Amino acid sequence: MHGVHGDEPPRDIGQFREFASTLQITELEGILDGHDILSEEVAYYPFPSNRRRYYENLDRFPDGLIVVGDAIASYNPIYGQGMSVAALHALVLHHTLAENGLGDLALQFFDKAESVINTAWLMAVGADFQFAQTTGPKPRGTGLMGRYLSRLTRKAHTDRKLAERLFRVIMMEKPPTSLFRPGVMWRVLKPPHHSHIQTHE
Ligand SMILES: Cc1cc2nc3c(=O)[nH]c(=O)nc-3n(C[C@H](O)[C@H](O)[C@H](O)COP(=O)(O)OP(=O)(O)OC[C@H]3O[C@@H](n4cnc5c(N)ncnc54)[C@H](O)[C@@H]3O)c2cc1C
Protein backbone atom coordinates (compact mmCIF):
# COMPACT_ATOMS: atom_id res chain seq x y z
CA MET A 1 0.00 0.00 0.00
CA HIS A 2 1.13 3.50 -0.53
CA GLY A 3 0.16 6.99 0.41
CA VAL A 4 1.21 10.53 -0.35
CA HIS A 5 1.30 13.90 1.37
CA GLY A 6 1.15 12.48 4.89
CA ASP A 7 -1.52 9.83 4.27
CA GLU A 8 0.98 6.99 4.68
CA PRO A 9 0.20 3.35 5.47
CA PRO A 10 1.17 2.55 9.09
CA ARG A 11 4.20 0.46 9.94
CA ASP A 12 2.39 -1.46 12.68
CA ILE A 13 0.81 -4.64 11.28
CA GLY A 14 -2.51 -4.16 13.13
CA GLN A 15 -2.90 -0.60 11.95
CA PHE A 16 -1.76 -1.69 8.48
CA ARG A 17 -4.82 -3.97 8.25
CA GLU A 18 -7.05 -1.17 9.50
CA PHE A 19 -5.63 1.17 6.86
CA ALA A 20 -6.45 -1.47 4.19
CA SER A 21 -10.06 -1.52 5.42
CA THR A 22 -10.40 2.22 4.77
CA LEU A 23 -9.63 1.85 1.05
CA GLN A 24 -12.41 2.12 -1.50
CA ILE A 25 -11.51 -1.29 -2.90
CA THR A 26 -11.82 -4.38 -0.69
CA GLU A 27 -9.29 -6.64 -2.43
CA LEU A 28 -6.24 -5.73 -0.30
CA GLU A 29 -8.14 -6.17 2.95
CA GLY A 30 -9.37 -9.53 1.64
CA ILE A 31 -5.82 -10.63 0.80
CA LEU A 32 -4.55 -9.63 4.25
CA ASP A 33 -7.45 -11.42 5.97
CA GLY A 34 -7.14 -14.55 3.84
CA HIS A 35 -3.44 -15.17 4.38
CA ASP A 36 -1.10 -15.89 7.28
CA ILE A 37 1.18 -13.04 8.23
CA LEU A 38 4.75 -14.34 8.09
CA SER A 39 6.43 -11.30 9.63
CA GLU A 40 5.19 -8.56 11.94
CA GLU A 41 7.55 -6.18 10.22
CA VAL A 42 6.07 -3.89 7.58
CA ALA A 43 8.70 -3.00 4.96
CA TYR A 44 8.69 0.75 4.48
CA TYR A 45 10.10 2.68 1.52
CA PRO A 46 9.89 6.42 2.01
CA PHE A 47 10.37 8.33 -1.22
CA PRO A 48 10.61 12.10 -0.78
CA SER A 49 10.18 13.32 -4.36
CA ASN A 50 10.61 12.78 -8.07
CA ARG A 51 14.02 14.16 -8.98
CA ARG A 52 15.60 14.99 -12.31
CA ARG A 53 19.03 16.28 -13.33
CA TYR A 54 19.29 17.82 -16.79
CA TYR A 55 22.61 16.38 -18.03
CA GLU A 56 21.40 17.00 -21.59
CA ASN A 57 21.86 20.75 -20.97
CA LEU A 58 25.61 20.39 -20.38
CA ASP A 59 28.04 21.25 -23.15
CA ARG A 60 31.00 19.37 -21.73
CA PHE A 61 31.40 16.26 -19.60
CA PRO A 62 34.47 14.26 -18.39
CA ASP A 63 35.65 11.48 -20.73
CA GLY A 64 35.18 7.92 -19.55
CA LEU A 65 32.15 8.67 -17.37
CA ILE A 66 28.46 8.15 -18.03
CA VAL A 67 25.35 8.64 -15.90
CA VAL A 68 22.33 6.35 -16.31
CA GLY A 69 19.09 5.30 -14.65
CA ASP A 70 18.02 6.79 -11.33
CA ALA A 71 21.17 8.92 -11.19
CA ILE A 72 19.68 11.05 -14.00
CA ALA A 73 16.05 10.93 -12.93
CA SER A 74 14.10 8.96 -10.36
CA TYR A 75 10.34 8.69 -10.28
CA ASN A 76 7.71 7.93 -7.69
CA PRO A 77 8.13 4.10 -7.55
CA ILE A 78 4.39 3.51 -7.41
CA TYR A 79 4.26 3.92 -11.20
CA GLY A 80 6.87 1.18 -11.67
CA GLN A 81 8.95 2.86 -14.38
CA GLY A 82 12.51 3.11 -13.03
CA MET A 83 13.73 -0.31 -14.14
CA SER A 84 12.18 0.14 -17.58
CA VAL A 85 13.95 3.49 -17.92
CA ALA A 86 17.26 1.97 -16.79
CA ALA A 87 16.86 -0.88 -19.33
CA LEU A 88 15.96 1.57 -22.11
CA HIS A 89 19.01 3.65 -21.16
CA ALA A 90 21.17 0.55 -21.66
CA LEU A 91 19.66 0.20 -25.13
CA VAL A 92 20.25 3.88 -25.94
CA LEU A 93 23.85 3.51 -24.77
CA HIS A 94 24.27 0.49 -27.05
CA HIS A 95 22.96 2.41 -30.07
CA THR A 96 25.00 5.51 -29.25
CA LEU A 97 28.18 3.44 -29.05
CA ALA A 98 27.32 1.57 -32.26
CA GLU A 99 26.66 4.81 -34.17
CA ASN A 100 29.32 7.17 -32.80
CA GLY A 101 31.91 5.10 -30.96
CA LEU A 102 33.47 6.70 -27.91
CA GLY A 103 33.69 10.26 -29.27
CA ASP A 104 31.64 12.60 -27.06
CA LEU A 105 29.85 9.50 -25.78
CA ALA A 106 28.28 11.02 -22.66
CA LEU A 107 26.86 14.14 -24.34
CA GLN A 108 25.53 12.10 -27.29
CA PHE A 109 23.98 9.65 -24.84
CA PHE A 110 22.34 12.36 -22.68
CA ASP A 111 20.73 13.89 -25.79
CA LYS A 112 19.29 10.56 -26.89
CA ALA A 113 18.25 9.45 -23.39
CA GLU A 114 16.18 12.61 -22.88
CA SER A 115 13.09 11.35 -24.70
CA VAL A 116 13.01 8.14 -22.63
CA ILE A 117 13.14 10.24 -19.46
CA ASN A 118 10.55 12.74 -20.71
CA THR A 119 8.01 9.97 -21.17
CA ALA A 120 8.43 8.53 -17.68
CA TRP A 121 8.69 11.99 -16.14
CA LEU A 122 5.47 13.26 -17.70
CA MET A 123 3.57 10.19 -16.52
CA ALA A 124 4.94 10.16 -12.96
CA VAL A 125 5.04 13.88 -12.30
CA GLY A 126 1.75 14.40 -14.16
CA ALA A 127 0.07 11.80 -11.96
CA ASP A 128 1.56 13.28 -8.77
CA PHE A 129 0.22 16.71 -9.73
CA GLN A 130 -3.28 15.25 -9.37
CA PHE A 131 -2.81 16.20 -5.70
CA ALA A 132 -3.18 19.89 -4.94
CA GLN A 133 -0.36 19.67 -2.35
CA THR A 134 2.24 18.63 -4.97
CA THR A 135 4.80 21.34 -5.63
CA GLY A 136 7.57 21.88 -8.21
CA PRO A 137 7.91 22.73 -11.88
CA LYS A 138 5.01 21.32 -13.90
CA PRO A 139 5.88 19.75 -17.26
CA ARG A 140 3.83 21.26 -20.09
CA GLY A 141 0.53 19.46 -20.65
CA THR A 142 0.42 18.10 -17.08
CA GLY A 143 -3.12 19.30 -16.26
CA LEU A 144 -4.82 17.94 -19.36
CA MET A 145 -2.78 14.73 -19.34
CA GLY A 146 -3.57 14.20 -15.64
CA ARG A 147 -7.32 14.65 -16.10
CA TYR A 148 -7.36 12.39 -19.14
CA LEU A 149 -5.26 9.70 -17.43
CA SER A 150 -7.49 9.80 -14.33
CA ARG A 151 -10.55 9.21 -16.43
CA LEU A 152 -8.76 6.52 -18.43
CA THR A 153 -7.63 4.75 -15.24
CA ARG A 154 -11.15 4.83 -13.78
CA LYS A 155 -12.61 3.40 -17.00
CA ALA A 156 -9.82 0.78 -17.15
CA HIS A 157 -11.21 -0.78 -13.95
CA THR A 158 -14.02 -2.24 -16.04
CA ASP A 159 -12.67 -2.00 -19.60
CA ARG A 160 -10.10 -4.71 -20.24
CA LYS A 161 -8.90 -3.18 -23.52
CA LEU A 162 -8.19 0.15 -21.85
CA ALA A 163 -6.45 -1.59 -18.96
CA GLU A 164 -4.13 -3.37 -21.40
CA ARG A 165 -3.37 -0.12 -23.28
CA LEU A 166 -2.62 1.66 -20.03
CA PHE A 167 -0.30 -1.07 -18.72
CA ARG A 168 1.66 -1.16 -21.99
CA VAL A 169 2.29 2.58 -21.63
CA ILE A 170 3.14 2.35 -17.92
CA MET A 171 5.56 -0.49 -18.71
CA MET A 172 6.98 1.71 -21.47
CA GLU A 173 6.33 -0.81 -24.26
CA LYS A 174 4.20 1.81 -26.03
CA PRO A 175 4.47 5.61 -26.07
CA PRO A 176 1.88 7.72 -24.18
CA THR A 177 0.68 9.01 -27.59
CA SER A 178 -0.86 5.54 -28.11
CA LEU A 179 -3.44 6.53 -25.46
CA PHE A 180 -4.61 9.36 -27.69
CA ARG A 181 -5.58 7.22 -30.69
CA PRO A 182 -9.22 7.80 -31.70
CA GLY A 183 -10.35 4.28 -30.68
CA VAL A 184 -8.84 4.70 -27.20
CA MET A 185 -10.09 8.27 -26.78
CA TRP A 186 -13.60 7.17 -27.63
CA ARG A 187 -13.54 4.46 -24.94
CA VAL A 188 -12.23 7.04 -22.42
CA LEU A 189 -14.55 9.92 -23.26
CA LYS A 190 -17.80 8.14 -24.11
CA PRO A 191 -20.51 8.51 -21.47
CA PRO A 192 -20.89 5.60 -19.00
CA HIS A 193 -23.10 2.65 -20.00
CA HIS A 194 -25.73 3.13 -17.32
CA SER A 195 -26.97 6.52 -18.56
CA HIS A 196 -29.92 5.12 -20.53
CA ILE A 197 -32.28 7.66 -21.99
CA GLN A 198 -35.85 6.46 -21.65
CA THR A 199 -38.26 7.40 -24.37
CA HIS A 200 -42.05 7.32 -24.05
CA GLU A 201 -44.33 7.22 -27.04
C1 LIG B 1 10.10 0.81 -3.25
C2 LIG B 1 10.48 0.86 -4.70
C3 LIG B 1 9.73 0.14 -5.61
C4 LIG B 1 10.04 0.18 -6.98
N5 LIG B 1 9.29 -0.53 -7.86
C6 LIG B 1 9.59 -0.51 -9.16
C7 LIG B 1 8.84 -1.28 -10.10
O8 LIG B 1 7.89 -1.97 -9.76
N9 LIG B 1 9.20 -1.21 -11.42
C10 LIG B 1 10.25 -0.45 -11.85
O11 LIG B 1 10.54 -0.43 -13.05
N12 LIG B 1 10.99 0.28 -10.98
C13 LIG B 1 10.68 0.26 -9.66
N14 LIG B 1 11.43 1.01 -8.77
C15 LIG B 1 12.52 1.83 -9.28
C16 LIG B 1 13.76 1.01 -9.58
O17 LIG B 1 14.11 0.23 -8.44
C18 LIG B 1 14.91 1.96 -9.91
O19 LIG B 1 14.47 2.92 -10.85
C20 LIG B 1 16.08 1.18 -10.52
O21 LIG B 1 16.56 0.25 -9.57
C22 LIG B 1 17.19 2.15 -10.93
O23 LIG B 1 18.32 1.42 -11.33
P24 LIG B 1 19.75 2.07 -11.23
O25 LIG B 1 20.69 1.02 -11.72
O26 LIG B 1 19.75 3.39 -11.90
O27 LIG B 1 19.99 2.38 -9.68
P28 LIG B 1 20.05 1.37 -8.45
O29 LIG B 1 19.24 0.14 -8.72
O30 LIG B 1 19.73 2.18 -7.24
O31 LIG B 1 21.57 0.92 -8.44
C32 LIG B 1 22.57 1.76 -7.97
C33 LIG B 1 23.61 0.86 -7.30
O34 LIG B 1 24.78 1.65 -6.98
C35 LIG B 1 25.23 1.28 -5.70
N36 LIG B 1 26.00 2.39 -5.16
C37 LIG B 1 25.58 3.59 -4.69
N38 LIG B 1 26.59 4.36 -4.31
C39 LIG B 1 27.72 3.65 -4.54
C40 LIG B 1 29.10 3.91 -4.36
N41 LIG B 1 29.54 5.06 -3.86
N42 LIG B 1 29.98 2.95 -4.71
C43 LIG B 1 29.55 1.77 -5.24
N44 LIG B 1 28.25 1.47 -5.43
C45 LIG B 1 27.35 2.40 -5.09
C46 LIG B 1 23.95 1.01 -4.91
O47 LIG B 1 24.20 0.18 -3.80
C48 LIG B 1 23.10 0.28 -5.98
O49 LIG B 1 23.33 -1.11 -5.99
C50 LIG B 1 11.15 0.97 -7.41
C51 LIG B 1 11.91 1.70 -6.48
C52 LIG B 1 11.57 1.66 -5.14
C53 LIG B 1 12.40 2.46 -4.16
Q: What is the pLDDT of residues 71-92, one digit of tens each?
A: 999 999 988 899 999 999 999 9
pTM: 0.86
Q: What is the pLDDT of residues 174-196, one digit of tens each?
A: 988 899 999 999 999 988 765 45
User: Ligand 1, from 70, 76, 81, 172: best to mutate by most atoms within 8 Å of Cβ?
Assistant: 70
137-159 residues labelled b (16+ CB within 10 A) or e (exposed) = eebeebeebbebbeebeebbeee
Q: What is the pLDDT of residues 121-136, one digit of tens each?
A: 988 898 898 889 999 9
Which residues have a Cβ under 8 Å from the Cβ of 13 and sit 6 or more positions away? 37, 40, 41, 42
Residues within a 6 A CB radius of ligand 1: 45, 47, 69-71, 74, 77, 80-84, 86
